[in-house]
Amino acid sequence: MSQYFIYYTESQIVCLIIFSIILLHDLSRIDRQEKQIRFDYALFSFMLYFISDTFWAAIISGVIPKTTVSATIANYFNNFFMALITYNWFMYVLSVEKVGKKYSPRQKLLFALPLIASAVVSFALYGLRPDLMFGPDLSTTAVSTLMLVLVPIIYIVAILIYTVRKAAEAKTREERYTHIRLGALPLAIVFGGLLQVIMLESVPIFCFSCSVVMIVFYIQSIESQVSLDPLTGLNNRGQLQRYVQQSSTLFREGLKTFVAMIDVNDFKRINDGYGHAEGDRALVIIADSLRQAAGEVGFPVFISRYGGDEFVIIMHCREADAPERLRDSIRAGIKENSEKAGITYTISVAFGCDELSPRGESFDDCLRRADEKSYKDKELQKGLR
C-alpha cells in the first residue's frame, strides 16, 4: 500500500507541476481576457482536487490514520472541488461564447447555486449523518458517490445542451468545431474518471486525462492568441500572411480565387460621435456579419481583419458573380445584425474585389487593386446619399 501511495502521489505531483507552469505563465500576462481568467480558475480547481485526492489516497493506503474525521475531510473536499471544476468550466464556456458579461449578478448567483447547495448539503450530511456517507469500515457509500457526481452532472449536462445548440446554429465549420470542443472536455474528464474507478482503480488515470485535455486546450488557446484578432475573433494579419504563402490553400483546383477588401464607411464618425467602445461594437457586428455571410455562400472563404476598420476576404469559387453575391449577403447581414443590436447609427461598408491570377501575380498586387475598387465603391456610396 505504501508503494501504491508513493506512485499515486508522484503522479499527482507531476500533474500539479504541469498545471502550475501553465497557471504561472497565464498569471504573468498583463492582457488576460475574461476567458483566460476563467480557464485559470478551472486549472486551480483541478490542482485543489489533486491535492485533496492525494490526501484521500494517503488515508486509503494507511499513511494517514483512517478515522471518521480524516475520511470526512478528504471526501468533503473531493466532492466540493469536483463540483468547483465543472462550475468553473461552465463559466469558462460562457466567457468563450462571449455571453458571460451579459449576465447580471443575480443570474451569476443562479449559476453558482448548485455548487453552493452541494457544499451546504454535503457539510450537513457529513456532520449530522456520517452513517449515510460511510460504511462500517469508513468506505464511501452510494450516497457519498451521489454527492460526488450530482452537481458535476448538472453542469456537464448544461454545458452539453448549450454547446450542442450553438454548434447546430453555427454558420462555419470552425465555429461548429469550437462549440463541440468546449462541450467535449467534460466528457473526456468523466471518461477518465470512469476508467480509474471501474478498470484501473489503483492507477491515477483521472489526473493524467485531465492534464492531457487541459494541455490540448491551452495549446489551442495559445494558437488562437497568435492567429486571431482579439476583438473580432477573425484571423489576424499575421494569419493572412501565412495563408497567402501557401499556394495549396491560395489556389485550388478548378476554382477561381478572388480577393476582396472591405472598408467601413465613416468609421471615424462612429468613434468620434459615439466613443471608441461603440466603434469596437460596430467592428464586432461587421465581423459577425462576415462570418454569417461566409457560412451561407457555399464555397470556401477566408476572412481576416487587415487592420483598423479594414477586412480582407479570400474566396475560392467557380462562378464569376460569387463575389457580388457575397457582398450583398454581407450588407444584408450588417443591416439585420445592426437592427438586432438596436444601434442608433448606420453601419455600411465599401467592397472592392478582384481576381487573383495564378500566373505569377503577387497577392499584394491583387489586394492593391481590390483596395482601389473599395475606395471607388466608397465614393460611389457617398454620391448616392
Predicted local confidence at residue 101, as pLDDT: 52
The one-character DSSP state at 61 is: T
pLDDT of residue 172: 63
Q: Answer yes or no: is pLDDT of 89 > 60.
A: yes
The residues facing 316 across adjacent strands are 257
pTM for the whole thing?
Answer: 0.71
**Are residues 160 and 183 in contact, defined by beta-carbon separation less than 8 angstroms?**
yes
Q: Residue 352 phi/psi, 5° resolution?
A: -125, 135
The continuous run of DSSP H or E covering 355 comes out as: strand 349-355
Q: Which of 146, 152, 144 is CA-nearest to residue 187?
A: 152
Q: Region 319-338: what's the mean pLDDT?
A: 91
Contact 357, 251 (CB under 8 A): no
Categorise residue 255: left if φ over 0, alpha if ψ from -120 to 50, beta otherwise. Answer: beta
- Of the listed ranges 2-16, 33-47, 189-203, 335-349, the least confidently predicted one is 189-203
Grid coordinates in use for 259? 480577393
Q: Taking all residues of the chain, what is their mean pLDDT, rounded to a whole number?
A: 86
Query: Average pLDDT for residues 192-219, to the nearest whole number?
Result: 75
Dist. CA 191–CA 22, nearest whole Å: 23
- For residues 259 and 313, give the distance between their C-alpha atoms in angstroms, rounded to a whole number: 6
* CA gap 68, 126 in Å, rounded: 9
For 366-379, b where at least 16 C-beta lie within 10 A, e where not — what string? bbebbbebbeebbe
Write out pLDDT tens, residues 290-301.
988 988 888 888
Taking phi over 0 as left and psi of -120 to 50 as alpha, with beta for the rest, 135 belongs to: beta
**Residue 92's pLDDT band (boundaries 50, 70, 90)?**
confident
Please report, rounded to a whole number, the percentage of residues in the chain having pLDDT higher than 70: 92
**Contact in structure between 186 and 209 (CB atoms under 8 Å):** no
Amino acid at 280: D
Q: What is the mean pLDDT of residues 239-261?
A: 84
| Adjacent-strand bridge partners of 315 | 258, 301
Q: Which CATH code for domain 2-227?
A: 1.20.1070
Residues 6+ away with beta carbon under 8 Å from 81: 45, 48, 49, 52
Q: Which three cell numbers stand for residue 61?
A: 493506503
Q: Which residue type occupies 330? A: I
pLDDT category, 329, cuts 50, 70, 90? Answer: very high
Q: Is it the case that residue 100 has pLDDT exceeding 50?
A: no
DSSP 213-234: HHHHHHHHHHHHHHHB-TTT-S
Residue 28: pLDDT over 70: yes
Contact present, 244 and 250 (Cβ < 8 Å): yes
Residue 79 is predicted with a pLDDT of 92
Q: Kindly state the average pLDDT of the residues 42-51.
A: 93
pLDDT of 201 reads 58
> What is the spatial distance between Cα 231 and Cα 308, in angstroms, rounded to a whole number?
11
Band (181; pLDDT cuts 50, 70, 90): confident
Q: Could you state, in order of their start, the residue ranges of all structural domains in the chain?
A: 2-227, 237-384
pLDDT attached to residue 123: 94
Confidence band, pLDDT 50/70/90 cuts, at residue 72:
very high
Residue recorded with cell 485559470: 40
pLDDT band at 223 (very low <50, low <70, confident <90, very high): confident
CATH 3.30.70.270 matches 237-384? yes
Q: Which stretches of the chain are DSSP H helices?
A: 2-27, 34-60, 68-96, 105-128, 130-133, 142-169, 173-194, 205-227, 237-244, 247-250, 267-274, 276-297, 322-341, 363-384
Mean pLDDT of 265-269: 90
Reported as a single tens digit per residue, the pLDDT across 111-130 is 999 999 999 999 999 999 99
Q: Which three cell numbers stand for residue 209?
A: 486525462
Burial zone of 155 (CB within 10 Å; 0-12 exposed, 13-18 middle, 19+ buried): buried
Q: Is the pLDDT of residue 94 over 50?
A: yes
> 217 or 147: which carries more pLDDT confidence?
147
The amino acid at 340: K
Instruction: Please tell me the distance from the alpha carbon of residue 203 to that of residue 196, in angstroms, as a whole number.
Output: 6
